Amino acid sequence: MMHRARNLPRQAIVSLCLQALAATSVGAQSLSFSEGAKLARERSAIHVVFVHGSDWNLFGEHLRETVWESTLVRDSTEDAGMILSDVDVLQNPDEAARSANERRNAGWKGTGLVTYPAFIALDAQGELLGSRQGLELPRDASRAKVCVLEFVACLRLRGEIDVRLAAARAEGDARSELALLLSRDGLPLERAPDLLERLRAMDTDEARSAAARIDFPDRFELVRQATSKAAGGEGAETERRLHAMLAEPAYTDEQRATVWFALGGAYRRWEGHAERAGEAFRAAWKADPEGLTGTAGRRMYLELYAGPSLAFGWAERHGAGEPGLWVIEDLPPSLAPGTWRLRWSATEGDAPRLVRARVVCGERVIGATDGPGGEGEVLFVLDTPLENGVLRIERAARSSAHSRGSFEWEKVR
C-alpha cells in the first residue's frame, strides 16, 4: 500500500486543484496501456492508468464516465504533461472481446493494483509512484473527482520537486537536497525507493535523524513481533531491543509511543512482568496522548492495570471491600475555572462511601464539597485553570465484596 505522511503540503495541492478546476478544454481519449507506456518513456512523463471492469464493476464505470473522462481531470493531467491509459479487466468476455482486450492491455501486469477501480501512476520507467483505489475513492462523483485532482496535483508536485532535487545535487547543496527529499516524502504517494540510501549518504545529523524516523518499522508488525517473541521465551532480548529503540532521540512522539506499547505487549506475555506492562502502557499513553498508539496504551493501562478511571469506572480488583485510596489519572488534561462535579454509582453490588476527595496537581490541592445530589456526588471549585491533575479518593469499605460502578465528571458552571 502507498506511503502516507502526516504533514502534507496542503496549500500547494489545493492551489493546483484550483488551477485544474479553471480548465475548460476537452481532453482526448486515453490510450491503451502499451501505447501509454511507450509514449511515457519517449517523453520521460508520468503515466496515469485507470483500471476498471466494464462488464462487472459498476462503480468503476461510474467513475470512468464522471471522473476519468471529465474535462477537469483530462485537462489537469494533460496540462502537467502526463500520459493517460486505461485498462479494462473483463470478467465474462466472448472470445473475440477477450482477444481484442488482451491486445489493448498488452504489457499490463497489475503493478500497484490492490483492488478495483484504481487510478495508478507510474514513472517513465514503469515504477509505481502512487495510487488511489477502492475505499480511497469516494462514492460521490464530485468528491471522487476532487480526490483524483488532488492525486494529480501530488504527482505534479513530485515532478517539480524531482527537477529541483537534480539541480540541488548538481550544485552540491546538501541542505536544499535534504529539505527537498523530506518535502517529497511528505506527499501522500509511494516512498522513493532510494530515499534512505540518499539520506544515509549525506552523513549529517539532520539526515541521520530523518533516516531514523523514516526507517521506523510498521507499528503493527513491531507490536506483533515483540509480543510473539516474549511469549516464546525471548522476553529479555526483546526488552533490550526496545529499550535501545527508546534511546533514539530522533523518533517522533508517535513512534516513541509505539515502542512503549510494544514493550507493554512484551511484558504482558512475559511471566512475572505484569506490573512493568502497566508502566509501559502508561508511558505509551503519556508519550502521545492524542495519537493512535497513545490512545491504545491509555486503554490498556486504565482497563487492566490502573486504579479506577473515569473511562472504565471501578471493578472488583479495586479493593474488594477494604478501605483504601483510589487514584484516578484520566481527568481531562486541562480544567477551566468553574465548578466541576464528580458522580459515582454502582452497576453491580454497592457503591463505596467516599471519605475524602481531592484534585491534586503538584503542590496544588483542591478539596471536594458536598454536591446538591447528596450521597454519590461531590463538587470541586477551581478559581484558576489546572493542568494535568489527578483525583485522589479516600473511600470507606464497601458492604459488597463484588462491586462495580462508573464515574461521571462534568463542568456544571
Between residues 400 and 226, the one the model is more confident about: 226
Mean pLDDT of all residues in 72-88 = 91
139: Cβ contacts below 8 Å, ≥ 6 apart? 59
Mean pLDDT of all residues in 310-334 = 86
**What does the radius of gyration of the chain's CA atoms come to, in whole angstroms?**
29
Mean pLDDT of all residues in 277-284 = 97
Of 67, 11, 3, 76, nearest in space to 46 by CA: 76
* Number of alpha helices (DSSP H) and beta strands (DSSP E) in the chain: 14, 14
Between residues 8 and 229, the one the model is more confident about: 229
What are the structural domain ranges in the chain?
10-160, 219-304, 324-411
9 pLDDT higher than 90? no
Rounded to the nearest integer, the mean pLDDT of the chain is 88
Is the dihedral angle over the CA atoms 257, 265, 312, 275 positive or is it negative? negative
Q: In the structure grid, which three cell numbers stand for residue 185, read together?
A: 516524502
219-304 CATH pick, 3.90.1490, 1.10.260, 1.25.40, 3.30.70: 1.25.40
Domain spanning 10-160: CATH 3.40.50.170? no
**pLDDT tens per residue, range 12-61:** 544 444 444 433 333 346 899 999 999 999 999 999 999 999 888 899 99
pTM given for the model: 0.76
Instruction: Give CA separation, 310 vs 56, 257, 275, 299, 329, in Å.
Output: 51, 22, 21, 11, 8
Mean pLDDT of all residues in 150-163 = 94
Residue 259 and residue 319: Cα distance in Å, rounded? 32
Q: How confident is the model at residue 398 (pLDDT cuts 50, 70, 90)?
A: low
